[in-house]
């Protein structure tokens, strides 16, 4: 009896320590899970933003979906949710094993209405003008882009609309909604072996359910095309707590010491980096925990304070965007 009594006293003394260690380990695990989740989201957004303006550069005269002045990158201010819209170009995949990407096989001249490519087997998701993955089958090439002395509404640009694939030729089409712009004619000579790229327009945004997602433009030129839920709260698992804030800020080469809240089309050739600030919430409340931390997110006027039982993590990353300076007026 004496031994049992001593053992019970010993266990009673150890229990608070055990309980504390258990809570501490649970807290560490929650923080690590939040950190892993946040860094995964940051990696994905950073790579897409880093490629903004790839091939297309900062050309403000791009004709996309009938609009002659679509910017390579644009910003929508929000409290607490910003959104960012961007143009990128990706290599066009083919279905031929020995030629995985689309290339020009014969030189093409300015004003030509088609180009000859290295295969007749092109993934429909990339080049089919009726495919939702590529709004109106827009393509460009990895060549220099001379600035012809055209007015803003006469700039024929570096992006072309593909109407069909006839054998081994990509045939261009003119967009009737774009006045004084000819997407059916090359604006410059294209060398053989130039790669062909599909142009994509996407946006990072947070919806009403606090879900971070990437939204693409569809073939009817609406922003209801491809949607990727990067961090969902209403899906099958419903395991994530969602995003409590998302902010984007910008650094220009003309003002390298400051982060700006917004940018204009005139700023694009000087854009050098984008700072992403992401505030994530845990999926479930924590017992015996109250979050009173003030979070300073991006350029929000005041810190965010929640006073609830959810753990959060604030991540910040600066992404270089060197492609934006490729094009000069």
Alpha-carbon distance 108 to 112, whole Å? Answer: 7
Structure confidence at residue 57 (pLDDT) = 74
Alpha-carbon distance 260 to 83, whole Å? Answer: 15
Structure confidence at residue 119 (pLDDT) = 79
Structure confidence at residue 56 (pLDDT) = 75
49 DSSP 8-state letter:
H
Structure confidence at residue 237 (pLDDT) = 54
322 DSSP 8-state letter:
G
String of DSSP letters for 108-159: B-TT-SEEEBS-S-B-HHHH-TT-TTSGGGEEEESS-----S--TTT---S-
Token couple for 11: 């266990």
pTM above 0.95, yes or no: no
The tens-digit pLDDT sequence of the chain (329 residues) is 766 666 566 566 555 554 444 444 445 556 788 899 999 999 999 999 998 887 777 766 666 665 555 678 889 999 999 999 888 888 887 777 677 888 899 999 988 988 998 877 666 555 654 444 444 567 888 765 544 443 333 344 567 878 777 778 888 877 666 566 667 888 778 888 888 888 878 889 999 889 999 988 755 566 555 677 888 777 655 557 889 999 999 999 999 889 999 998 888 888 999 999 999 998 888 888 899 999 999 999 999 999 999 999 999 999 998 877 765 55
Neighbours of 321 (CB within 10 A): 23
């Amino acid at each position: 009896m004496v031994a049992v009594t001593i053992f019970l006293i010993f266990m009673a003394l150890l229990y608070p320590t055990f309980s504390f260690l258990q809570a501490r380990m649970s807290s560490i695990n929650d923080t690590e899970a939040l950190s892993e989740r946040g860094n995964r989201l940051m990696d994905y957004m950073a790579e897409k933003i880093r490629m903004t303006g790839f091939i297309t550069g900062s050309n403000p005269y791009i004709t996309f979906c009938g609009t002659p002045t679509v910017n390579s990158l644009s910003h929508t201010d929000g409290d607490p949710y910003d959104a960012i819209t961007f143009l990128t170009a990706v290599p066009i995949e083919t279905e031929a094993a020995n030629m995985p990407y689309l290339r020009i096989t014969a030189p093409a001249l300015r004003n030509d209405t088609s180009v000859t490519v290295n295969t007749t087997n092109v993934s429909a998701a990339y080049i089919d003008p009726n495919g939702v993955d590529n709004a109106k089958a827009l393509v460009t090439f990895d060549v220099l882009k001379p600035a012809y002395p055209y007015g803003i509404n006469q700039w024929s640009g570096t992006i072309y609309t593909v109407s069909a694939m006839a054998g081994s030729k990509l045939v261009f089409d003119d967009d009737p909604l774009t006045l004084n712009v000819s997407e059916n004619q090359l604006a410059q000579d294209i060398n053989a072996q130039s790669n062909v790229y599909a142009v994509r327009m996407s946006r990072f945004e947070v919806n009403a359910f606090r879900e971070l997602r990437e939204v693409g433009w569809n073939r009817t030129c609406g922003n209801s095309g491809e949607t990727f839920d990067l961090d969902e709260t209403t899906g099958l698992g419903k395991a994530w707590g969602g995003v409590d804030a998302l902010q984007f800020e910008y650094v220009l080469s003309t003002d390298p010491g400051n982060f700006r809240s917004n940018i204009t089309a005139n700023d694009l050739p000087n854009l050098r980096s984008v700072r992403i600030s992401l505030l994530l919430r845990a999926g479930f409340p924590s017992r015996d925990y109250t979050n009173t931390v003030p979070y300073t997110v991006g350029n929000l006027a005041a810190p965010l304070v929640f006073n609830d039982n959810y753990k959060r993590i604030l991540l910040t990353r600066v992404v270089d965007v060197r492609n934006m300076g490729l094009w000069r007026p």
